[in-house]
Amino acid sequence: MVTPKELPHLCRALKAPALLAAVERLGERARSDGWSHEEYLAACLEREVAARQAHGGEARIKAARFPAHKTLEDFDFEFQRSLQRDLVAHLGTLTFIAARENVLLLGPPGTGKTHLATGLGIRACQAGYRVAFATALAWVARLAEAHQAGRLQAELQRLGRVPLLIIDEVGYIPFEAEAANLFFQLVAARYERASLIVTSNQPFGRWGEVFGDATVAAAMIDRLVHHAHLLSLKGDSYRLKDRDLGRLPREDAP
């Protein structure tokens, strides 16, 4: 049986290349396995939908601007023993995004905070969610620019439509008062509306110093933690795991 000659034209008109590629082979399967017309149509459409979703995932991953491609599958739970594997697996199901909850990753440098944040972000992209990743400093710079142009509220509203924002590295560099205020507005705008993943090398007790104001810090922590999954990472830096740790200078060495 030959494929009707209008099929390639129709598939091109629909911009459905995966459908075109599958149509003939699925036709043969349908005939040999006795599929109904509806079953055949469903199989064809499924092929195109799967191809588009996979492709959309890649496009969303690119748009999210992750610093590196790190997945949850690459994460070594044997090395990071302070983490409950099933908690991360649960977060990987992404129900926290539908519930508009936050994920807070706290711990010293090299313990896998950015890796886990990225891994969850990539999962979200693959599941069809839009994601945007940047460091705390980069987010603040972006908001400051919007503020100067008189469109801060519009920018916050636009970001509100992105279901997952990742704010990496809160606390490495203390904020000026203006930056702390902008950061607070971002957190407040998303509170109970859309998810955040925040990573920090500083425990909450030190956020007063990070934001230069204990009251602002407390108000922010309050909103971040209210509906949140808190992951505290401990241990040595993964970056140093293959080095001879005995020869590294101690922190209190001169």
Min CB(207)–ligand ADP separation in Å: 17
4 strand-pairing partners? none
Q: Rule CB under 6 A: is residue 75 a binding residue for ligand ADP?
A: yes
Residue with tokens 């999962």: 123
211 and 181 Cβ atoms separated by less than 8 Å: no
Q: Rule CB under 6 A: is residue 135 a binding residue for ligand ADP?
A: no
CA dihedral 89, 188, 170, 128 (to 10 degrees): 40
Task: Tell me 103's DSSP state.
Answer: E
Return the structure tokens found at 145.
């620019």
DSSP E strands, 96-209: 102-106, 131-135, 164-170, 195-200
Task: Tell me 245's DSSP state.
Answer: G
**Nearest to residue 238, comparing CAs of 113, 139, 128?**
113
Q: Rule CB under 6 A: is residue 239 a binding residue for ligand ADP?
A: yes
Min CB(233)–Mg ion separation in Å: 10
Return the structure tokens found at 225.
């933690």
82 and 236 Cβ atoms separated by less than 8 Å: no
Binding mask 12-51 for Mg ion (x = CB under 5 A): ----------------------------------------
Rounded to a whole number of angstroms, the distance between the first and last alpha carbons of the chain is: 82
Q: Rule CB under 6 A: is residue 79 a binding residue for ligand ADP?
A: yes
Give the C-alpha separation, 175 to 138, whole Å. 12
Min CB(62)–ligand ADP separation in Å: 19
Query: Which stretch, 73-81, 96-104, 134-142, 244-252, contacts ligand ADP (CB under 6 A)?
Result: 73-81
Binding mask 192-231 for ligand ADP (x = CB under 6 A): ----------------------------------------
Query: Which stretch, 6-14, 70-78, 137-145, 190-198, contacts ligand ADP (CB under 6 A)?
Result: 70-78
Give the C-alpha separation, 100 to 63, whole Å. 21
Q: Rule CB under 6 A: is residue 172 a binding residue for ligand ADP?
A: no
Q: Rule CB under 5 A: is residue 114 a binding residue for Mg ion?
A: yes
Min CB(74)–ligand ADP separation in Å: 6
Total site size for Mg ion, rule CB under 5 A? 1
35, 172, 204, 238: which one contacts ligand ADP (CB under 6 A)?
A: 238
Min CB(196)–ligand ADP separation in Å: 16
118 and 133 Cβ atoms separated by less than 8 Å: yes
Binding region for Mg ion (CB under 5 A): 114
Binding region for ligand ADP (CB under 6 A): 70, 74-76, 79-80, 107, 109-115, 238-239
